[in-house]
Amino acid sequence: MFCVYYILIPLIVFLLTFVMLKVKYSGAFFNIVGSLSLIFLLFSSQFKLSTISIIEFLPNASLAFATSNFSFIFATLVAFLWFVTVIYSMGYLRTLDDKKENKFFMFFAISIFSALGVAFSSNLFTMYLFYELLTISTFPLVSHYQDSQAVSSGRKYVLFILGSSICLLLPALILLYSFTGTLEFDQAQLVANNVPRQMFLIIVLMFLFGFAKSALMPFHFWLPGAMVAPTPVSALLHAVAVVKVGVFCLYKVFYHTLGFENFYHLPYFKNVLIIISSVTVILSSIIAINQDGLKKRLAYSTISQLGYIILGIVLFSQTALLGASLHIVSHAFSKITLFFCAGAIYVVTHKKYISELKGLGYKMPITFSCFLIGSLGIIGFPFTGGFISKWQLLKGSLEAGQPLVFCIFLLGSFIAALYLLPVIFTAYQKNPNFEEASISEAPIYCLIPIIITASMSIMIFFCNDFLIEVLRVK
Amino acid sequence: MKSFFKNIILGQFNYLAAVALILIGLYAVTYKRSFLKKIIGLTIFQTAIILFFISIGYKVGASAPVIPHGKGHEFQNFLFQNPLPQVLMLTAIVVGVAVTGLALALLEKIYDEYGSIEENEILEQLRKDDA
Amino acid sequence: MFKVSRLLVILLLLIFGFFLVSGIGELPLFGNPSNPVHKQAGNYYLEHAEIEMESPNVVTAVLADYRAVDTLLETTVVLLAGFAVMLVLFSTGNISKFEEVVNSSYILKISTKLLIPPVQLFALYVLAHGHHSPGGGFQCGVILGSSLILQALVFGVKETLNKYPPKRIINVAIFGVLIFYSIGLICFIQGGNFLDYSQLQSILSTTESHTRSLGILFVEIGVSLTVMSVIYLMYIFLITKGEVNN
Amino acid sequence: MPERISILIILIPFIGALLFPLLKHNIAKYLSLIVSMLILFLAIFIFSNILNNNPFEYNLGGWKRDVGVAFWFNKFNLIFCIVLSSIYLLTQIFFIPHYHIIYGKKLTKFLSLQALFFMSCFGLILTADIFNLYVFLEISALSSYALIALGKGRAYVASLRYLILGSVGASLYLLGVGFLFAKFGTLNIFELQSIVQNQVLGRSTFVSLVLIILGLLLKMGQFPFYIWLPEAYEHSPTSVSTFMAPISTKVSAFLLFKVLLGVFSISQIKNLLPESTFFVHLATVSIFYFGAISIRQNCLKKMLLCVLLAEISYLTGSFWILSKSSLSAFSFHIISDSLMIFAGFVCIAAIEYLNKSSQFKDLKGIGRKMPFTTMCFILALLSLIGLPPMCGFFSKFYIILGAFKEQHFLFGASLLFSSLMLVIATYKLIPILFFEDYKKIASSRDVPLRMKFVLACSILSLFFVGIFSGSLMKLIS
């Protein structure tokens, strides 16, 4: 029964903000209260598993929720970062004196609601429902500033995600349902014996590219476009909630629905999948190197890190899967720190491009030190969360007998260092004209979240045994 | 083949006449440009169907379905025509009248509005208004 | 419809015609009494109409009792056509604008004066004898309507309009359908199904077959009123292009 | 007792239509509101009655069905009647206060034509006699010609073309009935079924089948015969097209289902008409065609009409797949589609009420001026695209499921293509509605409360049908 309560909280926050749209600061207040109660509820549940089925749409394809270990971890991650991002966006929006703050928080709550809905869904049908709801609820956030740029990036956002989900995901869902007659998650046995061979390949490819939110290479264009949104949105949603939902769905579909054993007798097909995701990892990190916009560069780094996670899933080995889920958690913390810092820089200096950041390090020491911690987390430097997940991923690739993937992982981390560390170097160069400018540290509301998330990404390294034990897939 | 024609030509002559009228009516409705001729074609089409229905219920050598008074008991049904198609066709005739009446009223309004009842001329004027 | 060459249209119609002829080949032979068409309802009507409804004219029996709903809907179609023509040709012009030259000679006027009453009387005869001889509501309505049109033709539209203003006539049409409808409603209220005349027995207190024939008569009256007024209205509106609605 | 009451669903609009012209304008207006309310409650009452005991037959005039005319009340017929009467009620509530502005002296006649149109739609759904069906068909046709002709100049041409095509369609249907009648003698659907069951069906039944299909396709406005539909619903007054567009095509589609599957069984239709998949390919082509057109439209109403034409091809396509699951998808789509198109038209009516035109160029910044109406319109479009919680998604889901089960992959793909095109068309709309000169419009002046209520009801009905689609499907199949 509990899983419904977790989902209802953001919905209640959404309704309350909707009702009190005119009252100043009501949106922020309700979001904070909502996120705190959600975190408290999640921690007090001690991962008690529970399932509930609400409405029966089709024979065994109903609106049903179930909690599993991974969905708990994902939900706590989203809840915690929701709380942090709300504090951050209070600071961010207040300094930019944004008038549509309540509307912003309203859509924020509904997107968290649909992200949690996906996390706790117990069958493919419910997951697809909330996946679509997430697209619709994040669209107003992407086009928040309602200028010409918002229109073009909004178009890319809707066309890529909604288009791919209608043209690829829906037919895959229906094909699966017409063959196996069920949309429950663990139906690997059913898939094995009544889905013909070439239809199985088509369905797998449709699912792989259908979840456009996981920003696989040909379907990744919407993510750099979505950087037009205010930074809290790109921080929480486009670094954590939205993209992780895409990868989470891939994890559920590949592991539970299609089942790893159906892929053993398809060696060539596994190589194709590996090639697709490794191309994403390498290509997007190379593009990230020559991106001058700070947020654009972080967007491409997100795409490459997501490629890591997909690669982990596609290796079809237990430890690689564990590494992938760990990477989801660690990447979330480090990437959100980077985005927060980018937002803080923008708030204080209204600068978006890395070349303009020369000498800013001396003025904003805390922001840039957290930026350093975050980028180390992304690179996978020891003493940060990224190291743990990358370690498991490397072990998994060896276990799956793919030495090439092992090198790709290392190459990816190396290129990550290539495009993240120069930002720090440019920040700490001498820049005469910054001396006298009255640039002070980021506002307090932005600083606290940055510090929290940076410390969290380090803390993961030290207490990773709890995470590994929970996430180890039986 | 010969028996097929003998059977068709001699046996089902009424139906053939109905089909011929249907073709004429449809030709007028589809090909003729003036709306008035289309309406006339429509009426021909409807009368053809009435002929078709009536010839379904026809019995050779039977009189009209009016049973002389008091003779209800010793009665042979082959003496009288089948009343059902005639009732149905009464309805179809009345419907035909109603539809033609409305069509003529519409035609008059169109003539006032566009000054012509030729379909292509009217469509030209509509296209000009759109542009 | 669209600019299509004449040859193509003829070709298509010939294909359609051949398709219909192939269907006709299979139909039961024309005119033989043992066709399946007669077995089901046809013979039942012939055997039972006279006994159950005391109406030798089986067509009127089927028309007004067995399939009474068809006739009710049919009269509504007629009424609907009347409404539609009034709506389409509705214009708030006044009658004076409608110029009309009436040059029928004196002899013509007198002879029509002598002719119209017997025509209307004959129409009532057709109505009353709908049971026994070919006739009934529709035919009577048409004859009455034509007598009104004759008057409009000979004495001019303006004069007929004063005697039979369209405002009144459309209410007569509605009243006709109301009669038909209310008879059905009374049967419904009496406890039977809609339009089941046997329920009227308790009111009319005669044998069941006689009540049915009376029911048919009332219904025929309603039908003739509607048909008369709608035919007259259509003629008036088409002639005066609607400038009559003041 | 309740069986006897059920005929009132035809009688109440009938008596209303007769009384309205005799009354004064504002009495007639509110009486027609009461009439539509009565019908809705009656339909719900009969439906709840049918739920717990099996469907029943109503013999008019007390005669058995092989002699007299009979009506047939079953679950799906009543669900469709409930949808129709709710649309009737909602249009009344929406348009009543400013009927007199639109129609002036023609008001009472318009009300009775509207009541007759709905009476004939109920009749078409309920009657079990194929000739009686023809008479109801003619009443609904005649009343829609007259209602369309209420519009300005161009409406007369549209109405006349609709009249000619509609009468040809109805006469073809009558010819088909003639062939059936000549071969089997009876006019009742259930009698016909009992005769046809154990008979080898010859060429004349094939001809009658084709004629009935041709006639009803013409009335439905399926792809080759759709010329009359866009003009008819575009130039007719908004208050007419709002209730007529969603209903008239769906009712003729339902007739196809009722007559064909009432008389013949699926296997008989299959071997009578082997190339029935031709219709599925026809539907696929028309869905691709209308999907492509719907992008290039520059007016809301034209866009919605393209979507309506595509939805009709969904119906023919899913009907002609002739499998159990696709037929129940067909009937569910009838319900959900009439609600969706109605919601779309009501939103357009609301926009035109304040904004006088629904061209794209006149809609700049409507999002700020009329936030509630535009939100409802976006929701209706999202439901047409097929977003999950709403009924559009489930009807597309079931249709594609039925299509994939019968290996009609192209038909399924065409459905997805058309929803993708609608995504693009909607996205063309969003910058115009929300982003352009949004700042300039100071205050939001939205439609009066009564219209908001109707809009809210129509959108909630989409959610309602969507959420309870599972139980609805069990009722239908």
In DSSP notation, C72-85 reads HHHHHHHHHHHHHH
Assess if residue A239 is contained within a domain: no
Domain of residue A449 covers: 326-474
Instruction: Write down the pLDDT at residue C26.
Output: 81
For chain B, how many structural domains are there in total?
1
Are there at least 3 beta-carbon pairs closer than 8 Å between A and C? no
Contact C87 D113 (CB under 8 A): yes
Least confident of A366-370, B68-72, D169-173: B68-72
Instruction: From A294, A307, A153, A135, select the one nearest A222 (Cα to Cα).
Output: A153
D385–A contact, CB cutoff 8 A: yes
Could you report the per-residue pLDDT of A150-160, keeping only the tens digit for each? 888 888 888 88
Contact D401 A146 (CB under 8 A): no
The alpha-carbon gap from D267 to the nearest alpha carbon of chain C, in Å, equals 21
Q: SS3 for D53? A: coil
> Using CA atoms, how far apart are residues A328 and A311, in angstroms rounded to an integer?
12
For chain C, how many structural domains are there in total?
1
> Using CA atoms, how far apart are residues A312 and A274, in angstroms rounded to an integer?
9
Assess if residue C175 is contained within a domain: yes
Assess if residue C194 is contained within a domain: yes
Nearest to C23 among D62, D135, D203 (CB): D203
Assess if residue B74 is contained within a domain: no
Q: SS3 for D357? A: coil
In chain A, which residues have pLDDT < 70?
A: 1, 432-438, 473-474
**CA-based nearest residue in chain D for residue C24:** D204
Assess if residue A157 is contained within a domain: no
D69–C contact, CB cutoff 8 A: yes
The alpha-carbon gap from D355 to the nearest alpha carbon of chain C, in Å, equals 28
Q: How confident is the model at residue B70 (pLDDT cuts 50, 70, 90)?
A: low
Are there at least 3 beta-carbon pairs closer than 8 Å between C and D? yes
Query: Does the pLDDT value for residue D58 go beyond 90?
Result: no
Contact C45 B83 (CB under 8 A): yes
> Using CA atoms, how far apart are residues D55 and D71, in angstroms rounded to an integer?
11
D386–A contact, CB cutoff 8 A: yes
> Hey, where are the domains in chain D?
1-126, 129-238+264-272, 274-477
Instruction: Write down the pLDDT at residue C242.
Output: 72
Query: Does the pLDDT value for residue D144 go beyond 90?
Result: yes
Instruction: From C218, C200, C181, select the one nearest C74 (Cα to Cα).
Output: C181
Assess if residue C77 is contained within a domain: yes
Scanning D30-59 for CB atoms below 8 A from C yields 58-59
D5–C contact, CB cutoff 8 A: no
Instruction: Write down the pLDDT at residue C245.
Output: 54
Instruction: Write down the pLDDT at residue D370.
Output: 84
Are there at least 3 beta-carbon pairs closer than 8 Å between B and A? no
The alpha-carbon gap from B110 to the nearest alpha carbon of chain C, in Å, equals 10
Interface test with chain A among D288, D324, D435, D471, by most A beta carbons within 10 Å:
D435
Query: Does the pLDDT value for residue D328 go beyond 70?
Result: yes
Integer angstrom CA distances of residue D17 from A328, B98, D22, D89, D149: 67, 18, 10, 15, 18
Least confident of B76-80, C200-204, D70-74, D289-293: B76-80
Instruction: Write down the pLDDT at residue D440.
Output: 64
The H helix count followed by the E strand count for chain C is 11, 0
Q: Look at the block and give the residue holding tokens 């309560």.
A: A5
Q: Are strands D56-59 and A61-66 parallel, antiparallel or unpaired?
A: unpaired
For chain A, how many structural domains are there in total?
1
**CA-based nearest residue in chain D for residue C44:** D67
Contact C27 D59 (CB under 8 A): no
Interface test with chain C among D187, D200, D203, D228, by most C beta carbons within 10 Å:
D203
**CA-based nearest residue in chain C for residue B21:** C17
Q: Kindly list the residues from chain C whose CB atom is less than 8 angstroms away from the CB atom of residue D12.
A: none
The alpha-carbon gap from C8 to the nearest alpha carbon of chain D, in Å, equals 16
> Using CA atoms, how far apart are residues A415 and A394, in angstroms rounded to an integer?
16
Could you report the per-residue pLDDT of D404-460, keeping only the tens digit for each? 888 888 998 999 999 999 999 888 888 888 776 666 666 677 788 888 999 999 999
- Beta-carbon contacts of A149 under 8 Å, excluding residues fewer than 6 positions away, are A228
The answer to whether C123 and C73 are in contact (CB under 8 A) is no
The answer to whether C67 and B87 are in contact (CB under 8 A) is yes
Nearest to D416 among A132, A155, A170 (CB): A170
Q: Kindly list the residues from chain B whose CB atom is less than 8 angstroms away from the CB atom of residue D106.
A: none
User: Mean pLDDT of all residues in chain C?
Assistant: 86
Assess if residue A311 is contained within a domain: no
**CA-based nearest residue in chain D for residue A169:** D416
Q: Which amino acid is at D363?
A: L
D138–B contact, CB cutoff 8 A: yes
Integer angstrom CA distances of residue D239 from A207, A396, D353: 45, 66, 10
For the purposes of burial, counting CB atoms within 10 Å of the CB of B71, is it exposed (0-12), middle (13-18) or buried (19 or more)?
Answer: exposed
- Beta-carbon contacts of D398 under 8 Å, excluding residues fewer than 6 positions away, are D325, D328, D329, D332, D333, D473
Contact D470 A57 (CB under 8 A): yes
Query: Does the pLDDT value for residue C1 go beyond 60?
Result: no
Instruction: Write down the pLDDT at residue A145.
Output: 79
Instruction: From D169, D179, D227, select the one nearest D203 (Cα to Cα).
Output: D179
Q: What is the CATH number of the domain that holds B126?
A: 1.10.287.3510
Neighbours of chain D (3+ CB pairs under 8 A): A, B, C
Interface test with chain D among C51, C71, C194, C212, by most D beta carbons within 10 Å:
C194
Contact D204 C24 (CB under 8 A): yes
> Using CA atoms, how far apart are residues A420 and A341, in angstroms rounded to an integer?
13
Assess if residue B72 is contained within a domain: no
Interface test with chain D among C38, C80, C212, by most D beta carbons within 10 Å:
C80
Structure tokens at A355: 């070349």
Interface test with chain D among B33, B50, B99, B114, by most D beta carbons within 10 Å:
B99
**CA-based nearest residue in chain A for residue D420:** A163
Domain of residue C80 covers: 56-240
Average pLDDT of span B62-75 = 71
Interface C:D, Cβ pairs < 8 A: 153
Q: What is the DSSP letter of C227?
A: H
Instruction: Write down the pLDDT at residue A182.
Output: 83
Assess if residue A370 is contained within a domain: yes
Structure tokens at C79: 């009424």
> Using CA atoms, how far apart are residues D233 and D305, in angstroms rounded to an integer?
8
Range among A95-109, A415-429, B115-129, C216-230 rated most confident: C216-230
Neighbours of chain B (3+ CB pairs under 8 A): C, D
Q: What is the complex's ipTM, to 2 decimals?
A: 0.87
Interface test with chain C among D135, D139, D186, by most C beta carbons within 10 Å:
D135
C11–B contact, CB cutoff 8 A: no
Nearest to D427 among A159, A171, A177 (CB): A159
Q: How confident is the model at residue C3 (pLDDT cuts 50, 70, 90)?
A: low
Q: Kindly list the residues from chain B whose CB atom is less than 8 angstroms away from the CB atom of residue D164.
A: 29, 35, 38-39, 42, 103
Q: Kindly list the residues from chain D whose CB atom is less than 8 angstroms away from the CB atom of residue C68.
A: 60-61
Domain of residue B86 covers: 2-60+80-130
Query: Does the pLDDT value for residue D19 go beyond 90?
Result: yes
Query: Does the pLDDT value for residue B6 go beyond 70?
Result: no
Query: Does the pLDDT value for residue D336 go beyond 80?
Result: yes
Least confident of B57-71, C99-113, D241-255: B57-71
Assess if residue C49 is contained within a domain: no
Assess if residue B68 is contained within a domain: no
Assess if residue C30 is contained within a domain: no
Could you report the per-residue pLDDT of A327-381, keeping only the tens digit for each? 988 898 888 999 988 888 888 888 888 888 887 888 788 888 888 998 998 888 8
Residues D393, D395, D396, D398, CA torsion sign = positive
Q: Kindly list the residues from chain D whose CB atom is less than 8 angstroms away from the CB atom of residue A162.
A: 385, 423
C225 alpha-carbon distance from chain centroid: 9
The H helix count followed by the E strand count for chain B is 5, 0
Assess if residue C100 is contained within a domain: yes
- Beta-carbon contacts of B87 under 8 Å, excluding residues fewer than 6 positions away, are C59, C62, C63, C67, C70
Q: Kindly list the residues from chain A whose CB atom is less than 8 angstroms away from the CB atom of residue D423.
A: 158-159, 162-163, 166
D371–A contact, CB cutoff 8 A: no
Higher pLDDT, A443 or C175: C175
C63–B contact, CB cutoff 8 A: yes
For the purposes of burial, counting CB atoms within 10 Å of the CB of D41, is it exposed (0-12), middle (13-18) or buried (19 or more)?
Answer: exposed
Instruction: From A101, A62, A56, A78, select the one nearest A9 (Cα to Cα).
Output: A78
